[in-house]
Structure 1
Amino acid sequence: MDRGRAVVGASTIGALLLAAGLVIELVPAPGLTTDITAATACAHLGEEPSTVSAWFLTQFDNDTDHGIRVLSVRPGAVEGVRLEDFAIAPHPTTTDPGLVATDDGARPPEYGPAVPVDAGFTVPAHSTLNVVGHVVSGTGDGTGQVRDIVVTAEDRLGRLQSVTQHAAFGLGPGSDGSVMTFNCDGT
């Protein structure tokens, strides 16, 4: 009788350990995160919509102890503007993501070199994925925005995970002759 109880007890413990291991493997591993829950940055430059452009830099954090393989980075919506030079900035010299308004198409030097977003890359453990883009006013009134940057990555089990940064980077023509205005409404 004691031998039977030992076998049942050992089997129960083994089943519980197997179930715990299965649950650990089925729960998605943590991936990229973003501290930005909802942010808007916009720029107004001059009166001519054709001269309005801005560069934005935004980031996603990898707080895990392992690298995360990123498969794609894309905007959720592009409205009324053109998104040019959308890329990854591996080593920017700035630690302050945001918007740089300019009438020059050259990337701000503090954003550093960039690689195409469709190249596929790994974000190392305890580091940051920096995304840059050049927003240029489109036709019409020149007002528009890029919203919701979406990153799709692969977890350690090969499953896809997406994280969306709910931010908007917008442009609009100046109405009062001001050179630029940040955190403005209506874009």
Structure 2
Amino acid sequence: GMRAAVPAEVQALQELRELVLERLSRIDKSEQGDWETLQRELRQWAAAPHRWPVYPHPISSEFGYREFRGSYGFHYGLDLAVMTGTKVRATKDGTVTVAGWRPGYGWVVEIAHEAGYSTLYAHNSSLKVRVGDKVKAGDVIALSGSSGNSTGPHLHYEIQLYGTPVDPLRYIDEG
């Protein structure tokens, strides 16, 4: 019936709203600090990138510590094992700040978003944007590949908040 006609975005917003209202109901309004903190957190969450950059998106390496060729190190992004030539999409509206070759990353795109967020998409085979381009979430910005320091075709995806990498899996909230 009517439920099926509701776009996923609207449903997601309704669910977020219900979650927020539920959280608000447990907060004493006299504790103004909590109220302001929650509002700030919500704005921050709303501004964050929540989409997958590629479809499908098989995860080959998660964010965090890992062993790589016998040595141990921190992996600052999410590796998604996709075939060369897979469309890489911006995960949030923003402005392209990097579009070119970077040692290690190969052909890379970086996008600045609002509220201190930026995203990075590495090891591409070709780039579809230039520095200064304005992009919308879902726009194709590159085709994936295996350029730079790469053991095989995949997309290395990073989300940074004020320049510090954060775990993309904590932010992605679509299936």
* TM superposition score category, shorter chain reference: 0.3 to 0.5
TM-score (norm 2): 0.35
Greater RCO structure (CA 8 Å; 6+ sep):
1
Point out the structure with the larger helix share.
Answer: 2
Q: Which has the larger radius of gyration?
A: 1
Point out the structure with the larger strand share.
Answer: 1
